[in-house]
A and B are shown apart, each in its own frame.
Chain A
Amino acid sequence: MKKYIAAILALGFFAFAQWWGLTQTPSDAMMGAVQKIMYAHVPAAWNSFIAFFVVFVSSLLFLIRKKIFWDRLAASAAEVGVALTGLTLCLGSIWGRPTWGVWWTWDARLTTTAILFFLYVGYLSFRKFIEDPEKRAKLAAPLGVLIFLNVPIVYMSVRWWRTLHQVQSSPSTMDPAMVLALRLNAFAFLGLLILFIYWRYKIAKRKGELEEGL
């Protein structure tokens, strides 16, 4: 029981935050109830960016320190980040259908997120094709750094290409109750992110130890 206390806490807080977002906030004047998808969509997007930033930093640190720990951390964060990005894209699609009338639009942030998804799926499948753990770490680290450097450039280029996303949902244009719910959910997702990365890291470590033992 003691082993799962972190998991129970994170999931419990997540459930609480989601419940709060669904029931304790006013409906949006324009979008009505659908707007409440925001409390899952936006925090998932934010936290996937945090995960990818972790991939970048740990890849960089691997290049400097050459410790296998950083490689495993990068792999774990990339996997969790891909899961969250996939969720963000699906939620955005579900949100876009009733509000814009289409499942998909080529707007800047949506397209950037989709490109990120492709980049990190590529990173993960690249790792799968190298057996030797040391070689895998050495080859994956430069990739993790390069991908992240590309993110701002992708965003700029896609924004010049076209833009029709709604005005950035910044806290100043929203009801205070909405801001609170959004923040609660952001922290709830952050808790899950840390928990998942930690579990995934433990799996990677265990796997590495088993490989060495053989």
Chain B
Amino acid sequence: MTHFLRCFSAIFYKDLLSELRQKEILNTVLFFGLLIIFIYSFALGTDPNLLKKMAPGLLWLVVLFSSILALDRSFQSELEEGCLDHLVLYAASPRALFLGKVVTNFFTILIIQITSAFAMMILFDLPFPDNFWLLAVTFLLGNLGLATLGTFYAALTIKTKARQAMLPLLLFPMLIPLLLASVYATQMALEGTLTEGSSAWLTLLGIYNLVFLTACTLAIEPLLEA
């Protein structure tokens, strides 16, 4: 068990370090998110009421598109010079490897999400959320689910030929429940009016995370050995 934890923290530390050392990548992804938010205004017009109404959905779309770029990287860098095979050989268990990468991706996506939310609040003139804690919990749960499935699918698609096309094609339909729950919980947090319905969406997010975190952790072993 201690071995597992050490393995897990080593992977997490390594990935976080390489993520922070290569600042260009994170910066590019963040800038990409900013750009999409900017482009929304051109595509949808500048009516502030319309933008306010659509803000939760647009926010999660930005996060989805930007995080695809970050997720795609998380295994690609390992593939160069056969690092992935060595990692699988050396690591105590592929599960520790997987969970370490999930946590790294979770923090990356969280940074993307917070930056995008700030940018939207300024550009779309959104008020400070009425229910801040609900918003925080929604962000955390939504990002955890996104990181779990995203990392798993990145590991899956890294072994195919058309990696960049396959990842969103496979991942987005799987994320539909997560997207629905996150968008509606975010909307309730921003408006602060319909707080009763939000607990149902948060429960759904919790179940979703529990199911896929368990299933992905169990299924990663044969996958990485393939």
A–B interface present (Cβ within 8 A): yes
Q: A143-B156, A153-B204 are in contact. Are A115 and B176 (CB under 8 A)?
A: yes
Which one, A4-12, A72-80, A133-141, is touching chain B?
A133-141
Q: Are B177 and A154 in contact (CB under 8 A)?
A: yes
Counting CB contacts under 8 A, is B81 at the interface?
Answer: no
Looking at the assembled complex, report how far the CB atom of A49 sits from the nearest CB atom of chain B, in whole angstroms.
17
A161 to chain B, nearest CB (A): 6
> Within the assembled complex, what's the spacing in Å between the Cα atoms of A63 and B215?
13
Residues on the B chain within 8 Å of A63, using CB: 219, 222
State the CA gap A130–B162 with chains docked (Å): 9
Of B34-42, B127-135, B165-173, the stretch lying at the interface with chain A is B165-173
- Assess whether A139 is in contact with B223, with CB atoms less than 8 Å apart: yes
Report yes or no: A129 in contact with B204, Cβ–Cβ below 8 A. no
Number of interface residues of B (CB under 8 A): 32
Cβ-based interface call for B181 (8 A): yes
Query: Is B23 engaged at the interface, CB distance under 8 Å to the other chain?
Result: no
Assuming A135-B159, A135-B226, is B177 touching A149 (CB within 8 A)?
no
Question: How many residue-residue contacts, CB under 8 A, span A and B?
Answer: 83
- Interface residues in A, total, Cβ within 8 A: 29
A63 and chain B: residue at smallest CB distance = B222
Q: How far, in whole Å, are A81 and B211 apart by their CA atoms in the complex?
A: 24
The answer to whether residues A142 and B156 also contact, given A63-B219, A63-B222, A160-B200 and a CB cut-off of 8 A, is yes
Whole-angstrom distance from the CB of A108 to the nearest CB of chain B? Answer: 12
Contacts of A153 in B (CB 8 A): 177, 204, 207-208, 211
Are the CB atoms of A126 and B180 closer together than 8 Å?
no
A149 near B166 (CB under 8 angstroms)?
A: no
Central interface residue in A115, A123, A125, A157, by most chain B CB within 10 Å:
A157
* A204 in contact (CB, < 8 A): no
- Cβ of A150 within 8 Å of any chain B Cβ, yes or no, is yes
Can you give 23 contacting A-B residue pairs, CB < 8 Å? A63-B219, A63-B222, A115-B173, A122-B173, A126-B170, A129-B161, A130-B160, A135-B226, A138-B223, A139-B156, A139-B223, A142-B152, A143-B156, A143-B170, A145-B215, A146-B215, A146-B219, A149-B211, A153-B211, A156-B177, A158-B180, A160-B180, A161-B184
Q: Which residues of B contact A (CB under 8 A)?
A: 152, 156-157, 159-162, 166, 169-170, 173-174, 176-177, 180-181, 184, 200-201, 204, 207-208, 211-212, 215-216, 219-220, 222-223, 225-226
Q: A126-B160, A145-B215, A157-B177 are in contact. List 15 more A-B contacts (CB 8 A).
A: A63-B219, A123-B170, A126-B157, A126-B170, A139-B223, A142-B220, A146-B212, A149-B211, A153-B177, A153-B208, A157-B180, A157-B181, A158-B180, A160-B200, A161-B180
Interface on A for B, CB 8 Å cutoff?
Answer: 63, 115, 118-119, 122-123, 125-126, 129-130, 134-135, 138-139, 141-143, 145-147, 149-150, 153-154, 156-158, 160-161
